[in-house]
Amino acid sequence: MRNKSFHLILLVAALISVLFYLREDKVDVSPTKEEFEALEVLAPQTVNVVLERVYLDGEKSEEHIEETILSMEDFWAFYEDWDLIEQNGEEIVFRKEMHDISPLLKINGYFGITEDGILTIFEGEPNREKVIQSFFYIDTSKLKSQHYIELEKGIPVKDLRNYEDVLQVFSDYKAEEI
């Protein structure tokens, strides 16, 4: 009986040794943390890109794009004219100062004058409700009647040059500090 117990213990020990040997000999194909992070960098990465445009008239627009980054170098080169504002793992925000007026002004902006005599841009033909941008007081006593009628009716903002020209013309009628 003692001999049987010895053989049984020997068999169990041999079995444990074989199992231990097989377990150590097994090749671990799962990547380490460092290898996994390296794989993530090499794999295409999808991020949300927000492009903020700030126009001369103070308007801001945002464009949201889902970008798949294949090469970080190419990605940064593509946006080199933009200022990086914020970045996290899921979103990158860029901003650009535009040397232009906003599309809103080009489509539906009108110079006008408020009841208080302030040169203002309205959304749509001048009314007192939809102010987009205000500039300065105009001395209406110096203002030519033709210019006053134009401002009452509304002068369309067509493009940047028109915007700057109108401001230049009416800056001659700018009132002293009130």
Split the chain (178 residues) into runs of 10 and give each run's mean pLDDT: 55 58 51 49 80 89 90 88 88 92 87 85 78 83 82 88 89 75
Residues comprising the chain, all counted: 178
The number of angstroms, rounded, from the C-alpha of 80 to the middle of its chain's C-alpha atoms is 14
Short-list 64, 95, 93, CA closest to 82: 95
Q: Would 7 be classed as within a structural domain?
A: no
Residue 69's domain comprises 34-97
107 and 154 in a common domain: yes
**Where is the domain boundary, 54, 80, 97?**
97
* Whole-number Å distance between alpha carbons of 93 and 89: 12
Asked if the structure places residue 58 within a domain, the reply is: yes
In a domain, 84, yes or no: yes
Count of domains in the chain?
Answer: 2
Strand locations in 106-153 (E): 109-113, 118-123, 131-137
* Reported pTM: 0.60
pLDDT reported for residue 116: 83
